[in-house]
Structure 1
Amino acid sequence: MKNKVILLASDQLGKGEKELGEGILETFFTILKQKEELPAAVFCMNRGVFTLTESSLVSLQLKDLEEKKVEVLACKTCVDYYELNEKLTAGQISGMDQFIELASKYEVITLS
């Protein structure tokens, strides 16, 4: 995962049952945070910003990644759209310009 950016575009992984997708996404980040090589950043957009709220168990894993110096970023337009400004418990609000800058430096892996 070194030299990569994760683009998190959903609050679940894969298509199908919501609860299953949320559980799979949490498992992904639980395993990822234990790896020696971590991504440079996780950029959350669209429904991915919901993973940064306390209603998502994924937020705990993303907080742990932040503590390990992984940038966890939330698309400002998406946070505003879903009115989550006061509900974020992980990550920092960022703009698309920062994602474009990251994408120019690192390989992007999209989770949706």
Structure 2
Amino acid sequence: MENKVILVLSDQLGQGDKNLGEGILETFFTLLKQKEQKPKAIFCMNRGVFTMTDQSLVSVHLKELENQGVSVLACKTCADYYEVSDKLTAGKISGMDKFIELSSQYEVLTLS
């Protein structure tokens, strides 16, 4: 896991029931933060930026991962579009250039 970047494209995992998808995504990050090996970074795009706000229970886990040394980044264009730039409780705003840099160095695991 330490040589990976996790790309979060949605505030839920999968395209079925919204509540189920949110729960599955929260479980993923709950288990991830307990692992010894952590990803290099977590980059949130599109509706994935909502996971970095109080609107999502995932934000608590992202904050803990950030405290464990994982870079947690939000796409600036997406955060601006959804008007959440000033509502992030975990991570920080970043640009697409940072994601391109990370994806050229590490394997990308996409959650959508």
Give the TM-score of the pair, scaled to structure 2: 0.99
Match of 1:40 in 2: 40
Q: Distance in 2 between matches of 1:108 and 1:55?
A: 25
Q: Greater helix percent: which structure?
A: 2
Question: Shift of the alpha carbon at 1:55?
Answer: 1.2
Structure 1 residue 108, shift from structure 2 partner: 0.2
Q: CA deviation at 1:86?
A: 1.7
Q: Distance in 1 between the 2:103 and 2:85 partners?
A: 25
Q: What CA distance in whole angstroms lies between the structure 1 residues aligned with 2:39 and 2:85? A: 25
Shift of 1:59: 0.1
C-alpha deviation, 1:25, in angstroms = 0.1
Secondary structure of 2:25's counterpart equals: helix
Tell me what 1:30 maps to: 30
Q: Which structure 2 residue ranges, 5 or more long, are not aligned?
A: none
Q: Secondary structure at the match of 1:86?
A: helix
Instruction: Note the C-alpha offset of 1:87.
Output: 1.1
| Aligned match of 2:85 | 85
- Give the alignment's TM-score, normalised by structure 1: 0.99
Task: Please list the CA deviations of residues 42-72 of structure 1 after superposition, one character each: whole Å capped at 9, or x if unmatched.
Answer: 0000000000001100000000000000000
- Aligned AA (1:10): S
Structure 1 outlier segments of 4+, above 3 Å:
none
Query: After the TM superposition, which residues 36-75 of structure 1 pair with which residues of structure 2 at under 5 Å, given as runs?
Result: 36-75=36-75
Identical pairs, percent:
73
CA shift for structure 1 position 75? 0.1
Q: Secondary structure at the match of 2:86?
A: coil
Which residue number corresponds to residue 6 of structure 1? 6
- The one-letter amino acid of 1:14's match is G
Name structure 1 gaps, 5 residues minimum.
Answer: none
Aligned Cα root-mean-square deviation (Å)? 0.5
Give the distance between the partners of 2:98 and 2:57, measured in 1 at CA.
26
Instruction: Output the CA distance in 2 between the equivalents of 1:88 and 1:2.
Output: 25
